Chain A
Amino acid sequence: MDSKQLYQEVILDHNRKPRNYGRLEHPTQSSEGLNPLCGDHIWLHVHLDGDRIDGIAFEGQSCAICKASASMMTAAVKGKSVAEAEALVDAFRGMVTGTVDPATPGNPIGRLAVFAGVKDLPSRVKCAVLPWHTLHAALDAQAVASTEGDQDPMGTAG
């Protein structure tokens, strides 16, 4: 893995100009995501209209991989149903941990495939996956998601 493949223009662009960055006025759910090992720390706010994500925003302090991942995630799940968003969470986690081939027919990963290279940088998997943990936690009405300990939904991810 050449990390230059990872730090490509699309990721650098989302890091520079993150989409959906900030807060929602009346979120129906919010969750805090924390990677205690590297200090990535984000807050995710979601507005559900019935079963549909009609508003989503994030804020926080994180590395470029985490911020770009959060930015592209919010863009990807906005307007989707909870079930569609959860399917994307699974697809993303599977891709960056190397357990699911993003090229499998029917895989919903789409443009998020730019993060595929993360799976070859074990120390950075958690950076990419943190926003997705946090989204899963928010949709599940959990207050906190962490890449470590009891709150790590993937066990010993990364």
Chain B
Amino acid sequence: MSVTPIRQPAVDAGALDVERIRADFPILRNVHPHGKTLAFLDNAASSQMPQQVIDRLVRYQTHEHANIHRGVHTLSAIATDAYEGARRSVQRFLNAKEEREIIFTTGCTEGVNLVMHGYGRKFIGAGDEIIITHLEHHSNIVPWQMLCEEKGAKLKVVPIDDRGELLVDDYEKLFTERTKFAALTHVSNALGTVTPIRRLIDIAHSHGVPVLVDGAQAVPHIAVDVQALDCDFYAFSGHKICGPTGSGALYGKAALLEKMQPFKGGGDMILSVTFEKTTYNTIPHKFEAGTPPIAAMIGLGAALDYVSAIGLERIAAHEHALLEYATEQVTALGGVRIIGTAREKAAVLSFYVGDVHPHDVGTLLDEEGVAVRTGHHCAQPVMQRFGVPATARASFAFYNTFAEVDALVAAIRKVQKLFA
């Protein structure tokens, strides 16, 4: 089969050439909300897709599509190669030891649910305890609550301080001999807090407790090495890292994945089926029942390759500079409360303008072309901790510019004037 090489992103040594990178993202120049220049600062909700990934999707649909792992015909083999190639891209991206430790999911939420059903329902019982943190997104709370309700297990929550940092000493004290699992976020979506995940994993392991890391907000900003972290599971979504919606992956240590029960039953996850007995397929296929969103996963592979070519260290450095500038400029306005001031933060700025409700802020910022998320960010416990119903949240990606931060600050100033 012939392979058309994917155009590489514009990368030089040293700092990011943001203007050249922006040229890869057609949506950034195609959309003008209310006639204004778009400042897309809602990347923690979903990021934009570069032309390279769009082209990869088009090439798949125009030259490579058939169902995978089935037919002996040429197209099926091409599609299977492309799909399994994407799995290797994820493996490289997370530095997983083995390809079979990567399970494709429709996103981080499905990854967490897979572990809850596959591991939790098999190995966690009445009176057992599961540890989560106060920073979790609902998707890393609700599945564990469902499990606790079903099994009579108990959920324990690691508290946070006023900066939005985890209280690690309190975390350590939560462990008892009944603790069977820990599900911990790597980066808070609402506040941007980066948790000391390596240390948290070490502490859990010292009590013999396996750890699932919710990496949805971490992978776009931090180079993740699952072997160095020694996490047992790591889940993330493709659409937050320039890939398609409906794509994602779960890393799991092979030994654990093999012990687990399947999450969904159906085609592709079996070796043989009779009405008396079904023999499940080997990992990762045991967890991939039915025809997956093949194109989405191939797009995910292309997105990870794109981001890797730019380099997460350089991405992190640029985003950090943006966050620092934004924090300084927003603080200088006066009257804006920044929610989440952890010492180590990803590029997330959650804020409250005077006593103006975030939904009013969001509508008025949109009027200026500035797209931010407003609401509880699917993290209501975090909102309750800080005594606010919601916040406005600007979240930055590597293609954002200092001029876009200026647009944000100018728009907030307009809100302040209107509500003065």
User: Shortest CB–CB separation between residue B38 and chain A, in angstroms?
Assistant: 16
Per the bound structure, the CA–CA distance linking A40 and B374 in Å amounts to 13
For residue A153, CB closer than 8 A to chain B, the reply is no
Most B Cβ at <10 Å: residue of A2, A39, A41, A127: A39
The reply to whether B34 and A62 form a contact with Cβ atoms under 8 Å apart is no
Contact of A38 among B364, B374, B419 (CB under 8 A): B374
The reply to whether B376 and A124 form a contact with Cβ atoms under 8 Å apart is no
For residue A121, CB closer than 8 A to chain B, the reply is yes
Per the bound structure, the CA–CA distance linking A65 and B364 in Å amounts to 12
- Give chain A residues whose Cβ lies under 8 Å from the Cβ of B360: 7, 63-65
9 closest A-B pairs by beta carbon, nearest first, are A39-B389, A63-B357, A63-B359, A64-B360, A3-B367, A39-B390, A63-B360, A3-B363, A38-B359
User: Shortest CB–CB separation between residue A149 and chain B, in angstroms?
Assistant: 16
Would you list which residues of chain A between 1 and 31 have a CB under 8 Å from chain B? Answer: 2-4, 6-7, 12, 15
The reply to whether A12 and B374 form a contact with Cβ atoms under 8 Å apart is no
Interface string of B349-388 (1 = CB under 8 A from A): 0000000111110111011000000111000000100000
For residue B418, CB closer than 8 A to chain A, the reply is yes
The reply to whether B390 and A38 form a contact with Cβ atoms under 8 Å apart is yes
- Give chain A residues whose Cβ lies under 8 Å from the Cβ of B367: 2-4
- Give chain B residues whose Cβ lies under 8 Å from the Cβ of A127: 359
Per the bound structure, the CA–CA distance linking A2 and B356 in Å amounts to 19
Interface string of A48-73 (1 = CB under 8 A from B): 00000000000001111100000000
Contact of B364 among A7, A39, A123 (CB under 8 A): A7
Per the bound structure, the CA–CA distance linking A26 and B195 in Å amounts to 51
Q: If the complex has contacts A12-B418, A12-B419, A62-B357, are A39 and B375 also in contact, measured as CB distance less than 8 A?
A: yes
Other A-B pairs beyond A3-B363, A7-B418, 17, CB < 8 Å: A3-B364, A4-B367, A7-B363, A12-B418, A12-B419, A38-B359, A38-B390, A39-B389, A39-B390, A61-B389, A62-B357, A63-B360, A64-B356, A64-B419, A65-B359, A121-B363, A123-B359
User: Shortest CB–CB separation between residue B369 and chain A, in angstroms?
Assistant: 12
B415's nearest neighbour on chain A, judged by CB, is A7
- Give chain B residues whose Cβ lies under 8 Å from the Cβ of A123: 359, 362-363
B34's nearest neighbour on chain A, judged by CB, is A2
The reply to whether A124 and B359 form a contact with Cβ atoms under 8 Å apart is yes
Interface string of B303-337 (1 = CB under 8 A from A): 00000000000000000000000000000000000
Most A Cβ at <10 Å: residue of B359, B363, B364, B383: B359
- Give chain B residues whose Cβ lies under 8 Å from the Cβ of A62: 357
- Give chain B residues whose Cβ lies under 8 Å from the Cβ of A7: 360, 363-364, 418
- Give chain B residues whose Cβ lies under 8 Å from the Cβ of A41: 389
Per the bound structure, the CA–CA distance linking A39 and B352 in Å amounts to 14
User: Shortest CB–CB separation between residue A146 and chain B, in angstroms?
Assistant: 15
Overall SS of chain B's interface: helix
- Give chain A residues whose Cβ lies under 8 Å from the Cβ of B356: 64
- Give chain A residues whose Cβ lies under 8 Å from the Cβ of B374: 38
Per the bound structure, the CA–CA distance linking A15 and B359 in Å amounts to 14
Q: Residues of B at under 8 Å CB distance from A?
A: 34, 356-360, 362-364, 366-367, 374-376, 383, 389-390, 418-419
Q: If the complex has contacts A38-B374, A39-B390, are A3 and B366 also in contact, measured as CB distance less than 8 A?
A: yes
User: Shortest CB–CB separation between residue A72 and chain B, in angstroms?
Assistant: 16
Per the bound structure, the CA–CA distance linking A61 and B352 in Å amounts to 14
The reply to whether B357 and A124 form a contact with Cβ atoms under 8 Å apart is no
User: Shortest CB–CB separation between residue A24 and chain B, in angstroms?
Assistant: 24
B388's nearest neighbour on chain A, judged by CB, is A39
- 13 A-B contact pairs sorted by A residue (CB < 8 Å): A3-B364, A3-B367, A4-B367, A7-B364, A12-B418, A38-B374, A39-B390, A61-B389, A63-B359, A64-B357, A64-B360, A121-B363, A123-B362
User: Shortest CB–CB separation between residue B97 and chain A, in angstroms?
Assistant: 42
The reply to whether A37 and B375 form a contact with Cβ atoms under 8 Å apart is yes
- Give chain A residues whose Cβ lies under 8 Å from the Cβ of B358: 63
Per the bound structure, the CA–CA distance linking A62 and B197 in Å amounts to 36
- Give chain B residues whose Cβ lies under 8 Å from the Cβ of A63: 357-360
- Give chain B residues whose Cβ lies under 8 Å from the Cβ of A6: 363
User: Shortest CB–CB separation between residue B379 and chain A, in angstroms?
Assistant: 12
Q: If the complex has contacts A2-B34, A62-B357, A64-B356, are A38 and B375 also in contact, measured as CB distance less than 8 A?
A: yes
Per the bound structure, the CA–CA distance linking A4 and B364 in Å amounts to 8
User: Shortest CB–CB separation between residue A55 and chain B, in angstroms?
Assistant: 27
Most B Cβ at <10 Å: residue of A7, A61, A121: A7
User: Shortest CB–CB separation between residue A102 and chain B, in angstroms?
Assistant: 21
The reply to whether B375 and A124 form a contact with Cβ atoms under 8 Å apart is no
Contact of A39 among B363, B366, B376 (CB under 8 A): B376
Per the bound structure, the CA–CA distance linking A37 and B383 in Å amounts to 13
Per the bound structure, the CA–CA distance linking A15 and B418 in Å amounts to 12
- Give chain B residues whose Cβ lies under 8 Å from the Cβ of A38: 359, 374-375, 389-390
